[in-house]
């Protein structure tokens, strides 16, 4: 879970906004969540038809998963990249680009122009770069994800969910009596 700013509010996107921004259908997002490729980290699912809230980092991860899968990257390597993005989010990822050469996912950090393996030999420097690579612009994705995000009152949303769960546990006569009062 993402730390909530000020204990109450956090930057977040609805699932539909993540789907629109990434080009990934909601059904595929649900499948990826079940497979552990991505997850909504502000507020996850709490039942049927409950809105999930995604941090901008989650949108960047969804975009990376989609791009790598379209390029033919294996699920094993995609999971490694997902973990790498989660672990290094607080570092200067905005200055980085991921490259996929068909075998390895590489990180190019603009500040140092150093190319490092992210999958096959994590942290190992790379001297040669194949000409046929897929480039994933992490910095641009981060900027767009933050621009699409809005603040969500996490505490109020959690309280609303709790009230709904309490109502669902009531019997039919209790619900009618509660609605009448």
Averaged pLDDT, 87-99: 76
pLDDT of 39-61, one tens digit each? 888 876 666 667 788 888 898 88
Q: What is the mean pLDDT of the chain?
A: 76
pTM beyond 0.85: the answer is no
pLDDT of 134-158, one tens digit each? 667 777 888 888 888 888 888 888 7
Q: The domain 9-92+137-180: what is its CATH number? A: 1.10.1660.10
The residue among 55, 56, 59 whose CA lies nearest residue 19 is 59
User: Is the torsion defined by CA of 151, 51, 83, 125 positive or negative?
Assistant: negative
E-strand ranges in 56-163 read 96-100, 105-109, 114-117, 134-136, 150-153
Residues 70, 134: Cα–Cα separation, whole Å: 10
The tokens describing 66, both together, are 């989609």
Percent of the chain residues topping a pLDDT of 90: 4
Between strands 105-109 and 9-14, the pairing is unpaired
**Per this entry, what is the length of the chain?**
181
Position 152 scores a pLDDT of 82
Position 62 scores a pLDDT of 92
Sorted by sequence, the CB contacts under 8 Å of residue 80 that are 6+ apart come out as 105, 118, 119, 122
The residue among 139, 80, 85, 100 whose CA lies nearest residue 115 is 100
């Amino acid at each position: 879970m993402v730390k909530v700013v000020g204990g109450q509010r956090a930057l977040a996107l609805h699932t539909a906004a993540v789907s629109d921004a990434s080009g990934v259908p909601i059904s595929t997002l649900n499948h990826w969540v079940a497979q552990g490729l991505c997850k909504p980290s502000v507020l996850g699912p709490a039942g049927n038809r409950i809105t999930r809230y995604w941090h901008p980092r989650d949108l960047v991860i969804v975009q990376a998963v989609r791009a790598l899968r379209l390029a033919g990257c294996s699920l094993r390597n995609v999971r490694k990249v997902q973990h790498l993005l989660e672990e290094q989010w607080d570092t200067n990822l905005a200055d980085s680009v991921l490259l996929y050469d068909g075998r390895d996912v590489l990180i190019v950090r603009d500040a140092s122009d150093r190319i490092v393996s992210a999958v096959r030999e994590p942290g190992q420097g790379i001297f040669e770069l194949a000409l046929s690579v897929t480039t994933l612009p992490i910095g641009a994705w981060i900027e767009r994800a933050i621009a699409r995000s809005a603040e969500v009152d996490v505490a109020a949303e959690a309280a609303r969910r709790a009230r709904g769960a309490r109502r669902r546990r009531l019997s039919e006569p209790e619900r009618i009596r509660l609605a009448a009062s």
